[in-house]
Amino acid sequence: MAFKVVIKPEAEQELLEALKWYDSKEINLGSELYFEISKLIDAIQENPNLFQKRYKDFRITFTKRFRYGIHYTLEKDIIYIHAILHTSQKSPK
């Protein structure tokens, strides 16, 4: 089954801010974060039930290098990405 991925505007904004911050620290570091996030979104799209529910219907999976969590829900055949947060940030409500 092919799952459609919808990235909520808030999650997209969080990612853009993170990419900008990492790029300000070191050239191409933002690109490395983007690549890791993209691979994780691909894994979610391939098998969204692989990752454990953490609260309510939200599932979270984490990057290895950058310590970011992708918070998402699965509704029928659509994956909604609600947040892309560093592990030191609060989860969305």
Residue 71 burial by CB count (10 A; 0-12/13-18/19+): exposed, middle or buried?
Answer: buried
Q: Give the per-residue pLDDT at 70.
A: 95
35 close to 45: Cβ distance less than 8 angstroms: no
Q: Give the per-residue pLDDT at 90.
A: 57
Tell me the domains of the chain and their CATH numbers: 4-86 (3.30.2310.20)
The 3-state DSSP class for residue 64 equals: coil
Extract the residue ranges of the chain whose pLDDT is less than 70: 1, 89-93
User: Which one, of 53, 89, 87, lies nearest residue 73 by Cα?
Assistant: 53
61 close to 40: Cβ distance less than 8 angstroms: yes
Amino acid at 81: I
Q: What is the pTM of this model?
A: 0.87
